């Protein structure tokens, strides 16, 4: 028996009013008619709790796009899970917020694209910023934890001080400043988003000073881009070790983007109990443990800390999901990462102007069952 996962990530829907250029959803999105219904999600939450899962992350897309969100929060809480809602806040008014809190919501993670309204709206492709600020204040006056999530990249790292000041002004308990991770939509936009080395070093200094100054008032978590790291991140805490993700259609995945790995078979909670999937699903067994590891991971002392890094990154950069994560300084494919860093750092001034023209915007899922390919839905915003 494997130890139970700690968290269930429930991607309730891929529908979203935003079109973020670094969206972590797969490039091929699930359509509304494929989404799991309310009773199925409620059953899954009960199964998760029975397995020993402690926490559910209600995510998306935008989970508020589900009309039954209040029911899902209540059902998860009754199942004795800790209930996290990860949201852009679009579509959340005071009445609905109260209903969610009443249903047992424990923690709301509100994403903010930037402190500069024009820039935020450029990234998310919609006007959303002012509403979020009002919402953050509303959440703070209720008995629910609030984390402000700000995604950072080359275009907005220069405003890090203002971001921290904003979080202070809103007196949030937690601030997560996360650099974009380069998969899916973000990888398509990597050349425009990856920060320079100077930017990164400056940002680390800024965050450390703020962490010290705000100790006990605000907890600041900072995620750096792994391209600049010496060793890979322990992606998802290790494949099939800590987390199980369900996509809107009920497919169980070991991580957000595992769907890109060719040959993996994903079992569905419509057909199998969650516990069976965790234990037996081929996709979860594929990279669990150390059997699959190539050298240099196999004999590396760090294999129990980073578990070989990220399989999706290995596929995307090295072309092989079984390879050592290319960001590792010991990986034979590290030069591919260095080449990207070299391009960005040798001539950062030559980057294209900050217009929306250079971005590939994340789309909304097709309303028909036919999946739209990203190239068909490339949105040029003039």
Partner 1 sequence: MSFPSLDARPRLAPGCRLSDSSSENQVFLLMPEGALRLNQTGLKIAQLCTGDHSLEEIIERLAVQFGSADRQQVERETVSFLTRLHEKRVVDF
144 is a contact residue toward partner 1 (CB under 8 A): yes
CB 125 within 8 A of CB 18: yes
Is residue 84 within the footprint of partner 1 (CB under 8 A)?
A: yes
Q: Is 163 exposed, middle or buried (0-12, 13-18, 19+ CB in 10 A)?
A: buried
In sequence order, which ranges of the chain are alpha helices (DSSP H)? Answer: 38-51, 69-78, 94-103, 117-124, 129-140, 160-169, 184-188, 190-193, 197-213, 274-280, 282-286, 303-306, 311-313, 334-346
Which member of 174, 272, 288, 302 binds partner 1 (CB under 8 A)?
174
> Locate tokens 């290319």: which residue?
326
85 touches partner 1 (CB under 8 A): no
- Please count the residues of this chain forming the interface with partner 1, following the rule CB under 8 A: 23
1 belongs to the binding site for partner 1 (CB under 8 A): no
Residue 17 and residue 261: Cα distance in Å, rounded?
Answer: 28
User: Dihedral sign, CA of 161, 165, 167, 172?
Assistant: positive
Rule CB under 8 A: choose which of 34, 68, 82, 231 binds partner 1.
Answer: 82
Q: Which stretch binds partner 1 (CB under 8 A): 26-34, 101-109, 199-207, 245-253?
A: 101-109
Of 164, 177, 218, 244, the one binding partner 1 (CB under 8 A) is 218
Burial of 355 per CB tally in 10 Å (0-12, 13-18, 19+): exposed
Smallest gap from Cβ 90 to partner 1, in A, equals 21
Q: Is 138 in the site for partner 1 (CB under 8 A)?
A: no
DSSP per-residue string spanning 335-363: HHHHHHHHHHHH-GGGSPPSSGGG-----
Q: Which is nearer to partner 1, 15 or 107 (CB)?
A: 107
The answer to whether 147 contacts partner 1 (rule: CB under 8 A) is yes
Site membership for partner 1, residue 96 (CB under 8 A): no
47 binds partner 1 (CB under 8 A): no
Minimum Å gap between C-beta 380 and partner 1 is 38
Convert 61-82 to b/e letters by CB count within 10 Å (16 or more is b): bbbbbbeebbbbbbbbbebebb
Binding piece for partner 1, criterion CB under 8 A, among 212-220, 254-262, 305-313, 324-332? 212-220
CA distance linking residue 152 with residue 88, whole number of Å: 15
Choice between 57 and 325, CB closer to partner 1 = 57
3-state DSSP assignment of residue 246: strand
Tokens at residue 189, please?
């936009």
Which of 67, 95, 216, 353 binds partner 1 (CB under 8 A)? It is: 216
Q: In what order do the strands lie in the sheet with 219-223?
A: 219-223, 174-179, 145-152, 107-112, 82-87, 55-59, 7-11, 243-246, 252-253
Residue 215 in the binding site for partner 1 (CB under 8 A): yes
Per the CB < 8 A criterion, the answer to whether 67 and 94 are in contact is no
**Piece of the chain touching partner 1 by CB under 8 A; list 192-200, 214-222, 225-233, 281-289:** 214-222
Q: Does 235 bind partner 1 (CB under 8 A)?
A: no
Q: Does 24 bind partner 1 (CB under 8 A)?
A: no
Beta carbon nearer to partner 1, 208 or 215:
215
Q: Is 223 in the site for partner 1 (CB under 8 A)?
A: no
146 binds partner 1 (CB under 8 A): yes
Residues within the interface to partner 1 (CB under 8 A)? 6-7, 54-55, 80, 82, 84, 106-107, 109, 142-147, 173-174, 215-219
């Amino acid at each position: 028996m494997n130890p139970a996962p700690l968290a269930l990530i429930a991607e309730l829907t891929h529908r979203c009013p935003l079109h973020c250029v670094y969206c972590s959803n797969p490039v091929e999105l699930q359509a509304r008619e494929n989404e799991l219904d309310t009773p199925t999600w409620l059953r899954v939450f009960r199964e998760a709790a029975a397995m020993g899962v402690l926490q559910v992350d209600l995510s998306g897309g935008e989970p508020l796009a589900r009309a039954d969100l209040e029911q899902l929060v209540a059902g998860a809480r009754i199942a004795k899970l800790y209930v996290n809602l990860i949201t852009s806040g679009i579509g959340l008014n005071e009445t609905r917020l109260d209903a969610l809190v009443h249903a047992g919501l424990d923690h709301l993670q509100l994403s903010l694209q930037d402190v500069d309204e024009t820039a935020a709206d450029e990234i998310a492709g919609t006007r959303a910023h002012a509403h979020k600020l009002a919402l953050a204040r509303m959440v703070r006056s209720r008995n629910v934890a609030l984390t402000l999530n700000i995604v950072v990249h080359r275009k907005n790292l220069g405003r890090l001080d203002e971001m921290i000041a904003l979080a202070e002004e809103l007196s949030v308990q937690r601030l997560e400043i996360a650099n974009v991770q380069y998969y899916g939509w973000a990888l398509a936009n990597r050349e425009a988003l990856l920060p320079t080395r100077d930017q990164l070093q400056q940002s680390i200094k800024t965050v450390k000073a703020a962490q010290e100054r705000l100790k006990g008032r605000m907890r600041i978590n900072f995620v750096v881009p792994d391209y600049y790291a010496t060793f890979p991140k322990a992606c998802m805490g290790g494949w099939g070790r800590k987390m199980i993700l369900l996509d809107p259609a009920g497919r169980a995945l070991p991580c957000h983007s595992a769907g890109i790995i060719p040959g993996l078979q994903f079992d569905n909670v419509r057909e199998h109990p969650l516990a069976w999937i965790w234990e037996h699903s081929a996709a979860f067994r594929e990279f669990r443990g150390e059997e699959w590891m190539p050298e240099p991971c196999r004999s590396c002392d760090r294999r129990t800390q980073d578990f070989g890094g990220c399989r999706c990154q290995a596929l995307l950069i090295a072309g092989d999901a079984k390879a050592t994560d290319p960001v590792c300084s010991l990986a034979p494919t590290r030069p591919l990462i260095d080449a990207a860093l070299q391009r960005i750092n040798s001539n950062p001034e030559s980057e294209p102007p900050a217009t929306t023209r250079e971005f590939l915007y994340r789309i909304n899922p097709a309303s028909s069952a036919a999946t739209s390919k990203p190239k068909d839905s490339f949105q040029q915003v003039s």
